[in-house]
Amino acid sequence: MTSSTPAGNKDIREVAISLDQVSKWYGSFQVLQNVNLNVRVGERIVIAGPSGSGKSTMIRCINWLEQHQSGRIVVDGIELTSNYRNVDAVRKEVGMVFQHFNLFPHLTILENCTLAPIWVKKQSKKDADAVAFEFLEKVRIADQAHKFPGQLSGGQQQRVAIARALCMRPKVLLFDEPTSALDPEMVREVLDTMVRLAEDGMTMLCVTHEMGFARQVADRVIFMDRGEILEENVPDEFFSKPRHERARAFLSQIIH
Amino acid sequence: MKYLLGAVDTVPLLLDGLVTTLLICGLASILALVGAVCIVAARRSGIGVVVWTAKVYVTLMRGLPIVILVFLLYFGVPALFDLGRVSALWVGVLALAMNGAAFQSEVLRGAIARLPNGQTEGAYALGLNKFQLWRLVLTPQVLPIALPALAGEIGFLIKASPVLSLITVVDLTRRAQQVTMQTFDPLGPLLAACFLYFLLIGSISWVSRYLETRLTVGRTR
């Protein structure tokens, strides 16, 4: 039995997420190849790479939406194993924002935000409502609280999804291509919301193609291809002189 | 006109048959829905033998004439297990429920397939467990989608119920026949039965439409 704390690390408390030699296969196809990553509390990390490179799979492993098959993932001191108590504990600490929002269409914006706090954290409806309004204010959409998701624009829905995740007061937020499904004119409002979150010190892992966002807020850019992390770099260097050949090829393709 | 008036006069004579039909179909519908949920759960369980059993059951029920099922349960099974006489009414409930469960499970499966993507992941990512996912997120969305077709299935079930008169159940249809035999009026009792069936099935689809609008209110633009 391995212990749940990574060995030989001086400032252990500062590590929010650690991935150690994580691998995953779909059938015979290896989507993640010995991925190592440490995310410290308050760090903002952007994960870039071509489609099919395993970036989404990697962050989806962090809240057990997908299961890794070898290696270790430790989130806030809790190791992800098939023990459901650990999985539940991790999911309480980790919020996720999806490409397609995944709001619940049968619930109002407010109910979307209070569902998990009431049922998972056992908050009273009054407390949950208060928290929800606080975060809906933060994403500047409190005036729409009593509408249904279908009545809002894509950008508004994604901001609600961010507020919904924040209502669980997570220690880490994962973003899985949060702006990829949006009309171009909606992208800005969502990115602005994410920038404000970053300024508040939220620990963030973002899979995104928004390189402007990466430059503006990321502490580190992780470049992945074919299931491997090929480069970890500060944004300025990653964009001006990427070290890896495939990172250069990728950047030349997405920056016009 | 004479026949219509005759039919109206006959309606009170058929009410005990109507009560039997209502009782059998009401119980059978509830059991069928419970059964359908179990079948859907079995098919989603991911356990090979359970999935396979549920699939075979649905295929058998969909391919089996309900008359045969009724005869099997009323004559065949008691003979096989030496049960003696069994209650025709309960056999009727069971037969309709077994048949209805298979068809209703297909309705539910279709409705679940029509749910927007990502609802399960969205709920799990927020920390909801599987029970909460179904209770709070999926079922409230499946119901309005499934309701019209479920109401249709209950309509089919009601229309299949006269078959039970073959095993001595005095349902609405059988009662109408009895009245005909006593009054020598070949048309009035049947017209009256038509009217009552029509009212019953019509009110079910009306209730389902009402519930459907209630459940979906405000959800989309």
Q: How far apart are CA A241 and CA A237, in angstroms?
A: 5
**Total structural domains in chain B?**
1
Q: Which of B144, B162, B159, B143 is nearest to B36 (CA)?
A: B143
Does residue B3 lie within any of the structural domains?
no
Nearest chain B alpha carbon to A105: B219
Phi/psi of residue A26, each to 5°? -105, 105
Q: B101 and B31 in contact (C-beta within 8 Å)?
A: yes
CB pairs under 8 A between A and B: 70
Q: Is A220 on the interface with B (CB under 8 A)?
A: no
Half-sphere exposure of residue B1: CA atoms within 13 angstroms, side-chain side? 0
Containing structural domain, residue B182 = 13-220
Does residue B116 lie within any of the structural domains?
yes
Q: What is the pTM of this model?
A: 0.85
Does residue B107 lie within any of the structural domains?
yes
- Among A78-92, A144-158, B187-201, which range has the highest average pLDDT? A144-158
Q: How far apart are CA B166 and CA B185, in angstroms?
A: 22
What is the predicted ipTM? 0.90
Q: What percent of chain B has pLDDT over 70?
A: 97
In this prediction, residue A5 carries a pLDDT of 43
Q: Which of A28, A71, A31, A72 is nearest to A55 (CA)?
A: A31
For residue A119, which residues of chain B lie inside 8 Å, CB to CB?
A: 128, 132, 136
Of B125, B132, B219, the CB nearest to A106: B219
Per-residue b or e along A164-197, where b marks 16 or more CB atoms closer than 10 Å to that residue's CB = bbbbbebbbbbbbbbbeebeeebbebbbebbeeb
Cβ separation B127–A116 shorter than 8 A: yes
Does residue B101 lie within any of the structural domains?
yes
Q: A76 and A62 in contact (C-beta within 8 Å)?
A: no
Which residues 163-192 of A are in CB contact (within 8 Å) with B?
A: 164-165, 168
Q: Is A106 on the interface with B (CB under 8 A)?
A: yes
Q: What is the pLDDT of residues A228-254, one digit of tens each?
A: 999 999 999 999 889 999 999 999 888
Once rounded to an integer, what is the mean pLDDT over residues A30-36? 94
Nearest chain B alpha carbon to A87: B127
Q: How far apart are CA B36 and CA B111, in angstroms?
A: 13
In this prediction, residue A195 carries a pLDDT of 92
Of B117, B125, B137, the CB nearest to A104: B137
Q: Is B125 on the interface with A (CB under 8 A)?
A: yes
Q: What is the pLDDT of residues B85-122, one digit of tens each?
A: 888 999 999 999 999 999 999 999 999 999 987 999 99
Does residue B84 lie within any of the structural domains?
yes
Q: Is B63 on the interface with A (CB under 8 A)?
A: no
For residue B219, which residues of chain A lie inside 8 Å, CB to CB?
A: 105-106, 148, 150
The CATH number covering residue B52 comes to 1.10.3720.10
Does residue B39 lie within any of the structural domains?
yes
Of A65, A103, A168, the CB nearest to B124: A65
Does residue B93 lie within any of the structural domains?
yes
Q: A194 and A178 in contact (C-beta within 8 Å)?
A: yes
For residue B115, which residues of chain A lie inside 8 Å, CB to CB?
A: none
Q: Is A102 on the interface with B (CB under 8 A)?
A: yes
Does residue B5 lie within any of the structural domains?
no
Q: How far apart are CA B88 and CA B165, in angstroms?
A: 9
Please determine, for residue B215, whether its predicted confidence score (pLDDT) is greater than 90.
no
Please determine, for residue A13, whether its predicted confidence score (pLDDT) is greater than 50.
no
Report the mean per-residue pLDDT for chain A.
90
Nearest chain B alpha carbon to A100: B118
Which of B120, B126, B139 to probe by mutation at the A interface, max A CB count within 10 Å? B126
Say how many C-beta atoms besides its own lie within 10 A of residue B1's C-beta: 5
